[in-house]
Structure 1
Amino acid sequence: MPNLNLMKTYALLFFLVLSHFNTIAQGDFTLSGTILDENSEPLEAATVFIDGSKKLSKTDAKGKYSFAGLASGGYQLVVNMVGYGSSKQDILIQDKSVVFNLKLIAQAQNLREVVIVGDGQRHNYLTTFKKFFLGESENAKKCKILNLDVLNFSSEKQILRASTNDFLLIDNPVLGYRVKYLLRDFQYNSYLETTQYHGECIFEELEGSNTQKQVWHHNRREAYFGSLMHYLRSIYKGDIKSEGFLTYKVTNTRLPAEINVNPVLPKRITQKIDDNLIELKYKGRLYIIYNKELAARNYSFEKKDKIIMQFKDTGSVFSTDGQIDSKGNYFNYKALLIQGYWGRKRIGDQLPYEYIPD
């Protein structure tokens, strides 16, 4: 068995059925509807948002919500109401506005068993959680969780688990966002050095001076270029080379990764599903580097370097069985693997899907 410590992979694993799937560009369409209870009575003040975006609303006295200015594409609509739990629905906007009504069923609050731990133990749990949930970048280190009390922890053997019953509030002073995250489940396995978590989030702009906003503008560009969002948008367009990416097939299934030394073009590893979606037809892992100079040369590794004992600074391993759209969204997946550079870039480096660098 290879020595995992040599790889320094910091693996990030997700196992979800669906994920956030929304839009970047402004459009002319509206997503609207009514939220009702099981008796078909309107629910007022239900929280409605589009996962991974800045689109958030509260239903009015008639249970109505509305999001205007949307472009064609897919969205994951999330409705959350105390006493009713949450509901997630995939919405596809094609050539017209969509009206989507939803009925919520009242349910008893599903509380996990309360595990009482000492202050010292909870401090250790929080330290681990922040590292592997927020990430390990300089951006992540400056993030602040405002309501640590909503986090529920439990531990069994080498696995630390966490969840919340309400939004976890995270201020990111480097990128200028407040992230509200409904954490369904978080697990960190200290033996395997793997993390898996899932939930839904919404972004809010922080208030700041014009000077501060200029700093945020710069920092957001820095966070975007070379990110997973940037790569997925590039591979959808079929033009990763000009965007500074190189992609190599990983030919084995274990660590350390062994690669085909010659880079591959997007058309060799992707296939079109319809006018809006592609998927990876290569079902193995991919090794991706972000380096404009090497990409311009269409760099091939020497055969002696085909075993990747240590990832390059921007080197990442990626695989998914899901679908990808032009906005850098991935969805309808059951498994997603991210290792290396992208594996270290977590909530502290995440941008809303409305973001477009200028």
Structure 2
Amino acid sequence: MRYLFLLLFVYPLNLAAQTTMSGKVLSLVNQKPVADASVFLNNTSIGTKTDAAGTFTLSNVKNGKYDLIVSCVGFEAVSQGVVVQDNKVQVPDIQLMPKVTELREVKIGKKNTRVDSRRARLLRMFMQEFLGNTANASQTKILNPEILYLDYDEEQQKLTASTQDFLIIENKALGYRTKYLLTSFVKDPLNNILQYTGASAFEQIKGTPEQQTEWQNKRVKTYLGSAMHFLRACTENAVGQNDFTVFKLQRTPNPDRAPDSVILRKIRYFTDVKERDSAIYWSTMFQEPRFAYSVPKVKLDAKEYIKATDQKSFFALYHPNILMVNYKNNNANANANSTLIIFGDQETYFDSNGIILSMRDNKFERYWSELRFADQLPADYELPRSLK
């Protein structure tokens, strides 16, 4: 995907207004309009197609920062950063580069059962880490997994993945069919890294009234207590009213537990040499907590970890200590619905939609870190009015 990184700073006339965004898509080679191109805002359900003149209009866009994605058969996809703070935005002409098809060697011969088995194993690993292990994940399926490029470094135990086209992901728990262009996926357990980047367009699945009601209820359940819910509550100065409590805590490494990289190498070695007792010993150690925590019982006020930036509708999250965020539980020792926010030396930025713009070297642990794509809602999701 080609990235333009053009930011459109349009100063606000009415922060509560819904924005209309218009533009035109052209071929870079001959400057002719590109018809039937898909145009959508990343991680939302807002999208459309260009008409015969290459023009498009997106409606009902709230203030915030978005990646505008444009894709069309025969062209390279384009991602363009847009900051929206007005009731009408005219996007400069978007030019698409014709795609150079990469020819891959095709080998014809006997079916390689070993290769097929390895890909099936890597695909299971990818599905588990990308979609997750929640109830929502159990009802989510990738309809075209054959387009995934998967690679696994046996020595480093590192799984990587990407696609050149959109994955079609059907989530029958939440009622969404999503197109997802996977730019990069890395699972590196030795360095405790799991990260993926890409572009997604959500579309609601058509269903019976009963199905629509069930999907709406599950979306509400998924939203409540989520990072999106918490960050939106922060922007509205309504953390407590939304049943969140925040504590600061300190932690020290568990002196009886070896680092993850050491444990995983030991498990692999003793498994390979079939020393069962030693493998069990190190596997048991892996389940031990990495840290011991000291939790003060004083709740933090939102102003102690949230601050406005020089741009309206954009906020910064930071605290010199680790933050514990609890949902519907005032007990500082709660774990079931608690999340730890671990800060490096920089802030995490997010917008009024509750969408994180940059985590930098900060990370989540516990509840939010366990959620994957199957538990993701589009950025334009709103609670039903009856629950607001």
Q: TM-score range by the shorter chain?
A: 0.7 to 0.9
Residue 144 of structure 1 is matched in structure 2 by 141
Q: What is the CA–CA distance in structure 2 between the aligned matches of 1:94 and 1:256, rounded to whole Å?
A: 43
Question: In the TM superposition, what is the alpha-carbon distance from 1:75 to its structure 2 partner?
Answer: 2.4
Residue 19 of structure 2 is matched in structure 1 by 29
Which stretch of the first structure deviates more once superposed, 112-121 or 30-39? 112-121
Conserved? CA contact 1:26–1:69, under 8 Å: no
SS at match of 2:241: coil
Q: For residue 150 of structure 1, report the CA deviation from its aligned partner.
A: 0.9
Secondary structure at the aligned position of 2:315 is classed as strand
Could you tell me how far apart the structure 2 residues matched to 1:210 and 1:40 are? 46
Counterpart among 316, 319, 329 of residue 279 in structure 1: 316
Find the residue that maps to 2:190 and give its secondary structure.
coil
Instruction: Quote the residue 1:3 is aligned against.
Output: none
Select between 76-85 and 120-129 the one with higher mean Cα deviation. 76-85
Contact 2:342–2:365 (Cα < 8 Å) also in 1: no
CA spacing shift, 1:252–1:347, aligned 2, 3 Å: same
Letter of the structure 1 residue corresponding to residue 36 of structure 2:
A
Higher gyration radius (CA): 2
What SS class does the counterpart of residue 31 from structure 1 fall into?
Answer: strand
Residue 304 (structure 2) pairs with residue 317 (structure 1): no
User: What is the aligned partner in structure 2 of residue 4 from structure 1?
Assistant: none
Q: What does residue 256 of structure 1 align with?
A: 291
Contact 1:26-1:70 at 8 Å conserved across structures = no
1:267 aligns with 2:303: yes
Conserved 8 A contact 1:165-1:182: yes
Unaligned runs of 5+ in 1: 1-16, 19-24, 302-310
Amino acid at match of 1:142: Q
Aligned to 2:36: 45
User: 2: distance between equivalents of 1:331 and 1:112?
Assistant: 36
Cα deviation, residue 79, structure 1:
1.2
SS at match of 1:154: strand
Corresponding letter in the other structure for 1:287: M
Question: 89, 96, 102: which is aligned to 2:94?
Answer: 102
Amino acid at match of 1:279: A
Q: Distance in 1 between matches of 2:220 and 2:51?
A: 36
Q: What aligned pairs does 1:39-118 form with structure 2 within 5 A after superposition?
A: 39-100=30-91, 101-109=93-101, 118=115
Residue 112 of structure 1: how far off its partner (Å): 9.0
What pairs up with 1:1-358 in 2 under 5 angstroms? 27-38=17-28, 39-100=30-91, 101-109=93-101, 118-156=115-153, 157=155, 158-252=157-251, 255-256=290-291, 258-261=293-296, 262-273=298-309, 274-282=311-319, 285-291=322-328, 293-294=329-330, 299-300=331-332, 312-319=335-342, 321-358=347-384
Cα drift, residue 186 of structure 1? 0.8
Aligned letter for 1:139? N
Partner SS state of residue 233, structure 1 = helix
Write the deviation string for residues 208-266 of structure 1: whole angstroms up to 9, x where unpaired: 11111111111111111011111111122222122111222343586416354232111
Aligned length: 322
Moved more, 271-280 or 108-117: 108-117
Q: Which residue of 1 aligns with 2:286?
A: none
SS of match in other structure, 1:118: helix
5+ residue gaps in structure 2? 7-14, 254-289
Kindly indicate whether the alpha-carbon contact (under 8 Å) linking 2:75 and 2:98 is maintained by their aligned counterparts in 1: yes
* C-alpha distance in structure 1 between counterparts of 2:16 and 2:210, whole Å: 26
TM-score calculated relative to the size of structure 1: 0.81
Q: Deviations over 1:260-303 (max 9, x none)?
A: 42321110112111331110242554221212x42xxxx455xx
Residue identity opposite 1:282 in structure 2: H
Query: Is the Cα–Cα contact under 8 Å of residues 143 and 172 in structure 1 kept in the other structure?
Result: yes
Instruction: Indicate if the aligned counterparts of 1:151 and 1:162 stay in contact, CA closer than 8 A.
Output: yes
Following the alignment from structure 1 to structure 2, what is the Cα–Cα distance between the partners of residues 313 and 124? 31
Aligned-residue CA RMSD (Å)? 2.8
**How far does residue 128 in structure 1 lie from its aligned partner after superposition?**
0.8
Q: Which amino acid aligns with 1:214?
A: T
Is the CA contact (8 Å cut-off) linking 1:154 and 1:162 kept in structure 2? yes
| Cα separation, 1, equivalents of 2:132 and 2:219 | 16
Label 1:278 to 1:107 Cα distance change in 2 as closer, same or farther (>3 A): same
Counterpart CA distance in 1 for 2:74 and 2:49 is 16
Partner AA of 1:220 in structure 2: R
Question: CA separation in 1, counterparts of 2:208 and 2:194?
Answer: 37
Distance 1:113 1:267 in 2: 58
Deviation of 1:345 after TM superposition, in Å, equals 1.2
Deviation at 1:138, TM superposition (A): 1.0
| Counterparts of 1:112 and 1:183, CA distance in 2 | 19
Quote the offset at 1:81 in angstroms.
2.9
Deviation by residue 1:51-98 (Cα, 9 ceiling, x = unmatched):
111112222221111112333333221112344322222222223311
Deviation at 1:324, TM superposition (A): 1.7
Letter of the 2:291 counterpart: P
Whole-angstrom distance in 1 between the partners of 2:149 and 2:363? 26
User: 1:304: which partner in 2?
Assistant: none
- 78-87 vs 56-65, which moves further: 78-87
Q: Tell me, yes or no, if the aligned pair for 1:283 and 1:319 is still in contact at 8 Å.
A: no
What TM-score do you get using the length of structure 2 for normalisation? Answer: 0.76
Select between 120-129 and 311-320 the one with higher mean Cα deviation.
311-320
- SS of 2:77's equivalent in the other structure is strand
